A and B are shown apart, each in its own frame.
Chain A
């Protein structure tokens, strides 16, 4: 009665099964793929071994300890031309992070504003934002960087324009100057506090007389105060929510919160003796203060407006994705437009916006490598530029360069993905 097909015989493993049987075929394919890969990389390696240049020089990271012998125009940590290549690379990495961080922050602000304004009821604002987005999205970022660099180097006044009794240009509020070399900004320092700056020989005689200046470690104190304020404000808000849940009335926390934010930090800064070093025109140039070079300004500004256009599109898509029913339901509950946005639409839109935002941040970080086009000394400019050219260690330099960007990208995406997972909808 039963016409069951014969059960597969467990006997005899034949070689043809490796091709015909689905169970074994995957092993065959993988073996072939593996062999092909090994052959390919073996071919590359054998070429490298036979290469006359590489054979002579070998692969050696020892050059990193040698003195670099070149100057870096933006030094967040002390550096002289006698410092090692490794230190130069380290400074380059910090400079990369500085501009990436600044650009991420401003691009987010610009992008959110432009994205929201593109949905505005106002026709002319809508169209202007559309022009902004399309213009920046469709023209290469390298061109924008170069254009903005050209503007800052050719349109802004020279430092000498600030001289004389009736100068052509004057500093903003008397403390900051926009010149064609960059922006001179006041520099904060502490006169009172832990540690002391080592007696550094001033770079030139015109520099302000060295004062008793407390060390930069005091910024950690400032940071600690800010973090404490942050947690205190969170505790107050949690208490307010609890009261609201219990009584139905939310106590007013605005003044308490403002006080918690501002009073401790102001007191701390007064105790530490915060002073500002204002840039002053001496001789042909400004002295003192912080100089944000126009290479930094161009890179920062161009990356911000360029990526801001992309973020604007992400924000717009995120807001549009929230169905109209949500807005209408919120309005029916009697919420005002502002609260509809902040309580109903934005929390939901954020879930859609964050993943593309992460990749925009990664794009900014990778695009900072275009610094080399305007002479900003980021990692690509130091390690991948001057160090590579001076030592001729191309393979080692580029390996390190790639490793840095790779690790940085992976870390950022890991952190942001963790954040994304925490705000994502919890589904079964």
Chain B
């Protein structure tokens, strides 16, 4: 058919036209601007509004930061230096930095200890976080760290944390020896061995309180951002095992266990953390032995741990429910008993699914540690609201302090959530 055209059409092009460059408005920055900022008139308005918002924010923020001063030891001196040029008075941060970090009661000359503990954190945590790149034995560092950090921050004889650690070790050894005769027996043996070591250690530490001793610091002296970090890290780590147990209990077929777990989880999730902190502050003492000495920070740790474990339990329950039923049936058909099936088949997969949720809970919990300022503990927020804003030198200064608090929390929380997203990609090993 096409050859008929040769006569009927006046002109037929026989060579290819060389490709022309795209029109100027369809290339480079112009095209990007057109597509991303001014695609429609509505979009253009949005862009202008956004630019205006950005201008307002930056025109306030930039002079504040650039003109700010780090000199001076009181607000009055600071204002003198600034001469009303709109700069921030960051000298409060320089002067009160140790208080923001450690509170106002931690002895000056001992501050190197929490600092050391903080930097050791960066040695101890990577083995747990980057387990897929590092050899497994590095986990030993992570395992030792809590006891070392306790010794550094609280001081006292090294025997206390040493035997606490030895207790766990003895418990683990006893468990792994007896376990082949049954999981429950192994658990009992492990518990027994651990308690025996702890009891012995308690006696020994009472006998030699000066052995390898660092100067002891009372719990009341903990404060500042250090308190937030301590509460966050301790409570999240403690609540993980409890959360797993609660989640398994809620899935259990045993009505008594299941009922208790459901009531506990729903109760804790139904009340605000602040009421639990009130409990720690004023009520919990009624229910503990009158002669026992539970200080406030310990009571707060107990309540925050209970709080977090309920939330973590719900996250893990989601992970358990998301596993295909075939996994449970496969474990049963292999003849594994409940403990084996859970440890070898179910929990590794369920925990993997739950990691993002657990990290969310951890970030939320870390943010919630600021609530302890309400029950007059001097964490970062408590320090700012209390001693610093109430001091004569710095009364009337807000933005610099709140900005510092925001930056500190943002750094930690954003870092954790970025890690969680990275880990999620790493663990995405299934084919979806």
Using a CB–CB distance below 8 Å, which chain A residues touch chain B?
26, 29-30, 33-34, 37, 44-45, 47-48, 50-54, 117, 120-125, 128, 134-135, 137-143, 146-147, 150, 154, 366-367, 369-370, 372-373, 380, 384, 388, 394-395, 398, 401-402, 405-406, 409-410
Name A140's contact: one of B37, B398, B409 (CB within 8 Å).
Answer: B409
A26 & B274 in contact (Cβ 8 Å cutoff): no
Q: Is the interface of B mostly helix, strand, loop or mixed?
A: helix
8 examples of A-B residue contacts, CB within 8 angstroms: A26-B253, A34-B256, A54-B286, A125-B46, A128-B54, A139-B367, A366-B271, A394-B278
Q: Is B18 an interface residue (CB 8 A)?
A: no
B257 near A369 with CB under 8 A, answer no
Mask, B237-264, CB within 8 Å of A = 1, is 0000000000000000111110010000
**Known contacts A138-B413, A373-B374, A394-B283: does B368 contact A125 (CB below 8 Å)?**
no
B362-405 CB contact bits vs A (8 Å, 1 = yes)?
Answer: 01000110110110000001000100000000000010001001
A22 to B287 CA separation, bound complex (whole angstroms)? 37
Chain A to chain B: the 9 pairs with minimum beta-carbon distance, closest first: A138-B413, A123-B36, A140-B367, A366-B272, A409-B270, A369-B272, A406-B270, A394-B282, A30-B256
Q: Is B335's CB within 8 Å of the partner chain A?
A: no
- Give Cα A154 to B46, complex, Å: 31
CB of B112 closer than 8 Å to a CB of A = no
Residues of B contacting A124 in the complex (Cβ-Cβ under 8 angstroms): 36-37, 47, 50-51, 54
> CA of A409 to CA of B287 in the docked complex: distance in angstroms?
26
Chain B residue at minimum C-beta to C-beta distance from A20: B182
Contacts of B282 in A (CB 8 A): 388, 394, 398
CB of A142 within 8 A of CB of B370, answer yes
* A135 partner, pick from B253, B374, B410, beta carbons under 8 A: B410
B23, CB-defined interface residue at 8 Å: no
- Does the CB pair A47–B286 fall under 8 Å? yes
Q: Is there contact, CB below 8 Å, between B290 and A52? A: yes
Known: A52-B290, A147-B402. A139 touches B256 (CB 8 A): no
Question: Are B410 and A401 closer than 8 Å at their CB atoms?
Answer: no
Closest to B367 in A: A140
Interface of A is mostly: helix
Partner of A406, one of B253, B271, B368, B385: B271
Contact between chains at A122 and B36 (CB < 8 Å): yes
Flag if B288 contacts A140 (CB, 8 Å): no
A401 close to B278 (CB less than 8 A): yes
**Interface assignment of B105: CB less than 8 Å from any CB of chain A:** no
B405, chain A: closest CB distance, angstroms: 6
| B414 engages A372 (CB within 8 Å) | no
Which B207-266 residues sit within 8 Å CB-CB of chain A?
253-257, 260, 266
Write out the residue numbers on chain A whose beta carbons fall within 8 Å of the beta carbon of B371.
Answer: 142, 370
Interfacial chain A residues near B385, Cβ < 8 Å: 146
Q: Roughly how many angstroms separate A372 CA and B370 CA in the complex, as a whole number?
A: 13
B409 touches A384 (CB 8 A): no
Contact of A122 among B43, B253, B285, B398 (CB under 8 A): B43
Which chain B positions have C-beta within 8 A of A380? Answer: 272, 274-275
For B50, the chain A residues whose CB sits under 8 A away are 122, 124-125, 128
Asked whether A29 lies within 8 Å of B254 as measured between CB atoms, the reply is yes
Contacts of B267 in A (CB 8 A): 406
Q: Compute how far the CA of A220 lies from the CA of B341 in the bound complex, rounded to whole angstroms.
A: 60
Highest count of chain B CB atoms <10 Å: which of A52, A154, A409: A409
Q: How far is the CA of A34 from the CA of B373 in the complex (A)?
A: 37
Measured between beta carbons, the chain A residues less than 8 angstroms from B58 are none
CA distance A402 to B269 in the complex (A): 11
Contact between chains at B39 and A26 (CB < 8 Å): no
Q: A122-B47, A146-B385, A154-B398 are in contact. Are A405 and B257 (CB under 8 A)?
A: no
* Complex Cα gap A52–B385 (Å): 35
Report A325 CB to chain B, min CB distance, Å. Answer: 17
One digit per residue, 1 when the CB lies within 8 angstroms of any chain A CB and 0 when it does not, for chain B 19-50 equals 00000000000000001110100010011001
Closest chain B residue to A407 by CB distance? B270
CA distance A143 to B275 in the complex (A): 19
User: In whole angstroms, what is the CA distance A51 to B368 when docked?
Assistant: 31
- Cross-chain contact of A398 among B275, B402, B406 (Cβ < 8 A): B275
B290 in contact with A139 (CB, 8 Å) = no
Residues of A contacting B254 with CB < 8 Å? 26, 29-30, 33
Contact present for A121 and B39 (CB under 8 Å)? yes
By a CB distance below 8 angstroms, the chain A residues around B51 are: 124
CB distance from A134 to the nearest CB of B (A): 6
The residues of A that contact B54 with a CB separation of less than 8 Å are 124, 128
Residues of B within 8 A of A395 (CB): 283, 286
Are A139 and B37 in touch, CB under 8 angstroms?
Answer: no
On whether A143 and B271 interact (CB within 8 A), knowing A52-B290, A398-B282, the answer reads no
- Assess the A405–B275 pair: CB atoms within 8 A: yes
Further 9 A-B residue pairs, CB within 8 A, beyond A122-B39, A380-B274: A30-B254, A37-B256, A51-B285, A121-B43, A124-B50, A139-B410, A380-B275, A409-B270, A409-B271
Interfacial chain B residues near A30, Cβ < 8 Å = 254-257
Which residues of A lie under 8 Å from residue B255 when comparing CB positions?
30
Query: In the complex, which residues 135-188 of chain B have their Cβ closer than 8 Å to any Cβ of chain A?
Result: none
**A51–B292 CA distance with the chains assembled, in angstroms:** 12
Q: Which B residues touch A123, using CB under 8 A?
A: 36-37
